[in-house]
Chains A and B, each alone.
Chain A
Amino acid sequence: MQAKDEAEIADIVRSAKGPLSIVGGGTRRAAASGEHLCTSGLTGISVYEPGALTLVVRAGTPVAEIEGVLAAERQRLAFEVPDMRGLMGRAGASTIGGVVAVNASGPRRIQAGACRDSLLGVRFVDGRGEVIKNGGRVMKNVTGYDLVKLMAGSQGTLGVLTEVSFRVQAIPEAEATLVVPVADAAAGVAVLSRALGSPYDVTGAAYDGRALVRIEGMAGSVTYRAQALQALIGGEIVTVAASAALWRAVRDVQPLQGVTGAIWRISVKPTDGPVVLATLGAVPHLLDWGGGLLWVALPDDRAAALALRDTVNRLGGHATRLRGIAGVPDVHPEAAPVAALTQALRHQFDPKGLFNPGQLATA
């Protein structure tokens, strides 16, 4: 079903007899069962105030369109929306609602925050078919509970997002990346930690076989900081298009595109990234977020999945499977009391169990 506006979505939800699977641009894996409810008809920018750094946009709007409008004012979404099509082997165009639903965030996560940190407000239709709004379009807002955070990353389990608002950011006039040769992932993360512990305002810190450290800002400042960082961690300075290409590759997980097996995305404490990797043997991998975000391709079997989850449980963090089928849930199971709260919240927002029933399933 394709809805053209919020009221229509509310009608569909109110009269739904069985599960609904919410689909934005269809670039990620959708819920396994349920009638498709497509939001791509809800498009358009409602408010864009470059001088206030704020954007309000309907949930079905393609990300590419938003990025174009922002770029015309030399602005952007700070959290660097990843393009997962190459990795997932899918076509389609990401919608902004889908981005929010999975809290998708790229390399700048470590400095500018995740999608959830840029998100200022939401409107959504809950499982009762009621329109709920929370947050707004101002940067500071502590009025009532922060359902905005709850909706970011909720994977469509609490409601259908219809409108979202963001704080946006100016595109800096310059960027540079230090490319530092290192022996292995542990050495790479040590370099990243040193850079992130400096006052040079690093906006990207990844390991793809080399340590990559990005800075952005005014031209003079970038030159100064690139040299200061070089004195600290060594390496070669890359600028302009070459620098941008390096970070596009990290953002979109290019090193893992086209590989076979299960794809895992693991969030741990930065220095634990190499520790997890060491338990996996020689597998295709990429580290972002200073070491705290580990992408790996593993054999698609249950034993490998369980072993990985064990390691991550021991260290603290979570491992999500983006591709693969072998008998474990995609989402990392949480401790029993937290899982109970999650289930109870889902029941509150969606008492009939309509939304993405298979999503966030942990058992």
Chain B
Amino acid sequence: MEMPRPNPGVMSDKARIIAGLRAILPDDAVISDPLETRAYECDGLAAYRCTPLAVVLPRSTDEVAGVMRLCHAMGVPVVPRGSGTSLAGGAMPTADCVVLGVGRMTAVLETDYANRLVRVQSGRTNLSVTGAVEADGWFYAPDPSSQLACAIAGNIAMNSGGAHCLKYGVTTNNLLGVTVVLMDGRVITLGGGHLDAPGLDLLGIICGSEGQLGVVTEATLRILPKPEGARPILLGFAANEVAGACVADIIKAGILPVAIEFMDRPCIRVCEEYAKAGYPDCEALLIVEVEGAPGEIDEQLSRIKAIAARHDPVEMRESQSAEEAGRIWLGRKSAFSAIGRVADYMCLDGTIPVNELPFVLRRIAELSDEYGLRVANVFHAGDGNMHPLIMFDANTPGDLEKCEALGAEILKLCVAVGGCLTGEHGVGIEKRDLMGVQFAAADMEAQMRVKDVFDPKWLLNPAKVFPLAVTASRRAG
């Protein structure tokens, strides 16, 4: 992975930069010992690593602003970091950067049930936002599988999704406001307890900007009352096409499950070996989950069963108890770790129009044969967000490169059928060089002009999202 050459001026200024940071922050909030900064050398995309110049762990918006003013004045790049679970390399450092981690900013600042919101510091983990309101019957809806670890800051930067976003939307649909520190240290607040912006929707552009427009220090989040209950049903089919058609029919019938998860045969097999969830041996499997009171759940499931029955399912398994529901989810929830046991894998994240599912799955199988690498598919079928898992062997020379080449082919396929490169993980460094597949030069230029406004010197997370060649002149300042 190509990264920009570290700025020699910044590298030689290291001592002064660190002294400056120490003058602003308490001692324990500045890390410069290379042995300790190593802990921040990568995020969830662990194949790529680089030790940063320094790491700072501020505790307040004021401290963040101080760091930003200093880095701005001294021309030091800043890479914001939440919990470092990005699968796209979004939080990967450069050698000349200060990593600004918000991991110590975890406070709940306000809980307001009458207005259905919480305000938190951005380093708080996704699951602990729900944790703060759960006892009173509320939850925060976006639920990335990494929710135990990932921070709201990273969720906002990536506009993260989750299994339940078919019904509740992704981060941007549940974000009411933010406090942001701009690269020059100015602090702005956008949104809050009210809805929508009076003028331009700057909150909407901050969300999903991958830490390139400002450092988010606080967030106001919409919370919802917990549903009365939820229950899954498992449906097995003889072909991917049939399962795909069943998904379309469920959606067309106006039923809105909270989740529709899809697994193909390669994935079912591996999961079965590992988790022994008792899944049927079939080509394609759907897990459909619905919510409500017991009667409402029955009403929805009976419609879903009637629709599924028209597609000759090889299996229809309902759950009569929490234990059975758990077994239905077991294989799906352990899919990633199951595959991790049998091989190294790379997780793709392209989205396609759901009606293209059968074609895309067929084409992925052909590509998989061509490249000689196995691909398992497990994904959010309701919204077309695919997660092809390409299995490879990191110890075989050339395998990683082959895997990346196959990954690129699959993502190009997603774009070709009317979809996109990434549905929830973000571009980061991983898909940076594929941006030209989805966007014309003018499209990227329009996006970069937004960065020009928020960060004219291109110091904030500058090596991400856009191909390096496209950003070169801007990064040169």
Q: Assess A269 versus B194: contact at CB under 8 Å? Given A132-B442, A143-B422, A224-B295.
A: yes
In B145-202, the 8 Å CB interface with A consists of 158-159, 161, 165-166, 169-170, 172-173, 182, 186-190, 192-202
Taking CB atoms and an 8 Å cut-off, the chain A residues in 332-347 that contact chain B are 332, 334-335, 337-338, 341-342, 344-346
The 4 residue pairs across chains A and B that have the minimum distance between CB atoms: A149-B204, A170-B254, A269-B193, A51-B248
Establish whether residues A199 and B226, one from each chain, have CB atoms under 8 Å apart when the complex forms. yes
Min CB gap A46→B, angstroms: 11
Question: Contact at B252–A51, with CB atoms within 8 Å?
Answer: yes
Nearest CB of A to B261, in Å: 14
11 A-B residue contacts at CB 8 Å? Answer: A51-B355, A52-B354, A130-B446, A143-B421, A143-B427, A145-B208, A170-B255, A342-B199, A348-B453, A360-B199, A360-B200
Surface stretch bound by A, among B13-21, B33-41, B278-286, B432-440: B432-440
A107 vs B55: C-alpha distance when bound (angstroms): 46
For chain A, residues 135 to 189, give those with C-beta under 8 angstroms from any C-beta of chain B.
Answer: 136-150, 152-155, 157-158, 170-173
- What is the number of residues of chain A that contact chain B, defined by CB distance less than 8 Å? 90
Closest residue of A by beta carbon distance from B114: A193
How far is it, in angstroms, between the C-alpha of A132 and the C-alpha of B452 when the chains are bound? 17
Report A-chain residues with C-beta under 8 Å of the C-beta of B199: 153, 155, 331-332, 334, 342, 360, 362
A40-52: CB near B (< 8 Å → 1, else 0) gives 0000000001111
Evaluate contact between B253 and A345: CB separation under 8 angstroms.
Answer: no
Interface size class of B (residues with CB under 8 A): 35 or more
Q: Is B366 an interface residue (CB 8 A)?
A: no
Closest CB of chain B to A67's CB: distance in Å? 16
Q: Which of B118-149 contact A (CB under 8 A)?
A: 137
Proximity string of chain A (113-134) to chain B, C-beta cutoff 8 Å, 1 when within and 0 when not: 1101100000000100011111
| A196 at the B interface (CB under 8 A) | yes
| Proximity string of chain A (70-90) to chain B, C-beta cutoff 8 Å, 1 when within and 0 when not | 000110000000000000000
- Let me know if B225 is at the binding interface, CB within 8 A: yes
- B420 x A52 contact (CB < 8 A): no
Q: Tell yes or no: A320 within 8 A of B by CB.
A: yes
Interface set of B (CB-CB < 8 Å, partner A):
112-116, 137, 158-159, 161, 165-166, 169-170, 172-173, 182, 186-190, 192-205, 207-209, 225-228, 248-249, 251-256, 292-293, 295-296, 299-300, 303, 351-355, 380, 383-385, 418-427, 431, 435, 438-440, 442-444, 446-447, 449-454, 465
What residues of chain B lie closer than 8 Å to A344, measured between beta carbons?
A: 453
Which residues of the other chain, A, contact B440 by a CB distance below 8 angstroms? 133
A267–B354 CB distance below 8 A: no
B198-A144 in contact (CB<8A): no
The answer to whether the Cβ of A204 comes within 8 Å of any Cβ in the partner chain is no
Closest B residue to A103 by beta carbon equals B196
Inter-chain contact A145/B253, CB cutoff 8 Å: no
Contact of A132 among B187, B192, B207, B443 (CB under 8 A): B443
Is A271 an interface position by the 8 A CB rule?
Answer: yes
Q: Residues of B contacting A144 with CB < 8 Å? A: 427, 435, 438-439, 443-444, 447, 465
Closest to B190 in A: A338
Which residues of A lie under 8 Å from residue B158 when comparing CB positions? 142
- Choose one: B186, B293, B300, B353; the contact of A52 (CB below 8 Å): B353
Partner of B352, one of A138, A172, A173: A138
A342 CA to B116 CA, complexed, in Å: 29
- Which residues of chain B come closer than 8 Å to A228, judged between CB atoms? 293
Q: Which residues from chain A contact B443 at a C-beta distance below 8 Å? A: 132-134, 144
